[in-house]
């Protein structure tokens, strides 16, 4: 069986790996580390949760162990699609490089420029960055990229999904032509393949699993609701998470606004839950992740910003509140559970209208996903959300075209007490609203004509008031032409 010592790593790295408890390399590590140590370009394709971070971090540290960075001229660059993943890579680098003198700087948004610039001015061997913040610092003249010897692009397909490919192309054009490039991705869409063909030099392809496949340690279920309303989906979600064996979980939503809504709903029903998405400030996101990792927080409600690369090894469940629009995202979402050989379970809530997205997921998987039974039938609407008809003080005995014949018998006088009985009962036998509904039009045509004549006579009676200031002594010539 292969060990880390067989891959060509130095003793300092082996000691660091032993300190963090790593005994044997994963397949992607065993396949990618040897060619990377030789200085070859490497294209690594593996599903999430297989140890890709160590596959590029370890050979990078080994190759940079000799030499020293100059001010504002890093020797290597690692690009990540999200702040969380970049911060996680930085943490891993600190663990692996603790026996070396290598320095690193983390360039991500949501934090001040000053501390980042201070490290860059002293000289950083490794820059770990998101594309946007790297370009910000580059345009400010705070970082120069012409000394980069090793480039790493992690989660390349996620870069595509988030619209970073133009930024990646711009960054690649500023780097030296002679460099080593390590490219890692879970899938290989055509746009990413085009990037590989243009900017990599005969890369060593390391593929340890079928693209867009899921780990065999994950049990997959779908929970169907007959009613597509958000209340029904939230009810089904509560049934799914309130079961034996659900230690914790990440709940994925397609939209940021639903992340906040679902998190508030769960907290209202007594569950320990908090949201995380791109609109939250970085300190809040960092603290939320720390609480989840330490088991202070039980459920993390997330957008796809948290779907890739987060190293949280003990997530027992993943719940898809929405079926993802992109089938590949399904793989990355449920890959948050069943990591490092542990068992996991995913539950996807399927509402009417989700059939096409579910079919795309099952086609990609090459199999149907089993149905779960977390409760019989469609969830009932909560009482607070059930509409009620307001009571009316009086209904005229005359027929009106605005009076629904299906709800009221004709020629029946209805008082406030009887109209409440005639309407649909309020939830939980609550009294009807005290605010009466506007009265319906019930006057006959004859009464309409009578009202018009009465109004006209009132106007005629007031003719003497047309000429203000004269009272009843209006000069006769003022009325010429009136008769």
Please give the domain boundaries of the chain with CATH numbers for all domains.
4-207 (3.40.50.300), 218-371 (3.40.50.300), 389-422 (no CATH)
User: What mean pLDDT value characterizes the chain?
Assistant: 80
Residue 411 confidence (pLDDT): 40
Position 278 confidence tier, pLDDT thresholds 50, 70, 90: confident
Position 426 confidence tier, pLDDT thresholds 50, 70, 90: very low
Residue predicted with more confidence, 93 or 376: 93
- The residues near 382 (Cβ < 8 Å, ≥ 6 apart) are 231, 235
Residue-wise pLDDT tens digits, 327-353: 878 988 898 898 777 899 999 999 999
pLDDT at 395 over 70: no
Q: The tokens of 184 are what?
A: 């890692």
CB atoms within 10 A of CB 83: 22
Position 458 confidence tier, pLDDT thresholds 50, 70, 90: very low
Which position has the token pair 């580390």?
Answer: 33
- This prediction has a pTM of 0.63
pLDDT at 437 over 70: no
- The residues near 102 (Cβ < 8 Å, ≥ 6 apart) are 61, 64, 65, 125, 126
Residue 423 confidence (pLDDT): 41
Position 429 confidence tier, pLDDT thresholds 50, 70, 90: very low
Indicate the helix (H) or strand (E) that contains 251.
strand 249-252
Shortest CA distance to 109 belongs to which of 89, 135, 88, 74? 135
- Partners of 150 in the β-ladder: 76, 180
- The residues near 203 (Cβ < 8 Å, ≥ 6 apart) are 40, 41, 42, 43, 181, 183, 196
Residue-wise pLDDT tens digits, 162-196: 889 999 999 999 999 999 999 998 878 888 899 89
Adjacency order of strands within the sheet including 42-45: 104-107, 126-129, 76-79, 150-153, 180-185, 42-45, 204-207
Whole-number Cα distances in Å, 243 to 238, 240, 246? 9, 6, 6
DSSP summary character for residue 395: B
| Phi, psi angles (nearest 5°) of residue 6 | -80, -10
416, 393 contact by CB (below 8 A): yes
Residue predicted with more confidence, 458 or 234: 234
70, 54 contact by CB (below 8 A): no
37, 59 contact by CB (below 8 A): yes
Residue 358 confidence (pLDDT): 96
- Partners of 345 in the β-ladder: 219, 317
Can you give the C-alpha Rg of the chain in angstroms? 34
Residue 341 confidence (pLDDT): 76
pLDDT at 432 over 70: no
Bridging pattern class, strands 180-185 and 42-45: parallel
């Amino acid at each position: 069986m292969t060990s880390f010592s067989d891959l060509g790593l130095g003793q300092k790295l082996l000691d660091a790996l032993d300190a963090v408890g790593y005994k044997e390399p994963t397949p992607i590590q065993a396949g990618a580390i040897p060619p990377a140590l030789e200085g070859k370009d490497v294209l690594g394709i593996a599903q999430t949760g297989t140890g890709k971070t160590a596959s590029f971090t370890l050979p990078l540290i080994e190759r940079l162990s000799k030499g020293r960075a100059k001010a504002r001229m890093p020797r290597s660059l690692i690009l990540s699609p999200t702040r969380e993943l970049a911060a996680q890579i930085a943490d891993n680098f600190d663990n692996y490089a603790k026996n070396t003198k290598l320095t690193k700087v983390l360039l991500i948004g949501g934090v001040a420029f000053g501390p980042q610039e201070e490290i860059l001015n002293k000289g950083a061997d490794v820059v770990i960055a998101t594309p946007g913040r790297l370009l910000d610092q580059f345009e400010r003249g705070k970082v120069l990229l012409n000394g980069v010897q090793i480039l790493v692009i992690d989660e390349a397909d996620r870069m595509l999904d988030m619209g970073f490919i133009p930024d990646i192309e711009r960054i690649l054009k500023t780097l030296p032509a002679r460099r080593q490039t390590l490219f890692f991705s879970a899938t290989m869409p055509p746009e990413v393949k085009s990037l590989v063909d243009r900017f990599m030099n005969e890369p060593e392809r390391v593929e340890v699993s079928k693209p867009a496949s899921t780990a065999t340690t994950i049990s997959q279920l779908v929970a169907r609701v007959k009613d597509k309303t958000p209340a029904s989906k939230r009810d089904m979600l509560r049934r799914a998470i309130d079961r034996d064996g659900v230690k914790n979980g990440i709940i994925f939503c397609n939209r940021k606004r639903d992340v906040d809504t679902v998190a508030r709903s769960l907290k209202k029903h007594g569950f320990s839950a908090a949201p995380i998405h791109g609109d939250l400030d970085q300190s809040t996101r960092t603290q939320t992740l720390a609480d989840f990792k330490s088991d202070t927080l039980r459920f993390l409600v997330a957008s796809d910003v948290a779907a890739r690369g987060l190293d949280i090894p003990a997530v027992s469940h993943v719940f898809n509140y929405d079926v993802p629009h992109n089938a590949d995202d399904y793989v990355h979402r449920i890959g948050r559970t069943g990591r490092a050989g542990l068992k996991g379970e995913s539950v996807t809530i399927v509402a009417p209208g989700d059939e096409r997205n579910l079919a795309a997921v099952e086609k990609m998987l090459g199999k149907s996903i089993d149905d779960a039974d977390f409760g019989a039938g469609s969830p009932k609407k909560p009482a607070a959300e059930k509409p009620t008809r307001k009571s009316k003080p009086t209904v005229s005995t005359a027929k009106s075209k605005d009076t629904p014949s299906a709800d009221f018998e004709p020629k029946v006088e209805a008082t406030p007490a009887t109209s409440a009985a005639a309407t649909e009962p309020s939830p939980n036998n609550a009294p009807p609203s005290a605010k009466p509904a506007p009265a319906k039009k019930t006057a006959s045509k004859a009464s309409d004509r009578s009202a018009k004549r009465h109004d006209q006579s009132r106007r005629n009676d007031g003719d003497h008031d047309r000429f203000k200031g004269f009272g009843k002594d209006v000069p006769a010539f003022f009325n010429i032409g009136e008769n």
